[in-house]
Amino acid sequence: GSVDGDAPAAMRYTEIRLDRIAHELLNDLDRETVDFVPNYDET
């Protein structure tokens, strides 16, 4: 879904594959390496 209430996209539109470098960049997100702050609508 979205903040506008739209239905989620079908799986055929959401399939992706990350490069190795993307895995390295995203690998430590669960270790609180970045200070996250709420966005404009606090989601």
Catalytic residues: 13
* Calculated CA dihedral for residues 32, 3, 13, 22, nearest 10 degrees: -20
Place of tokens 């200070």: 35
Do the Cβ atoms of 18 and 26 come closer than 8 Å? yes
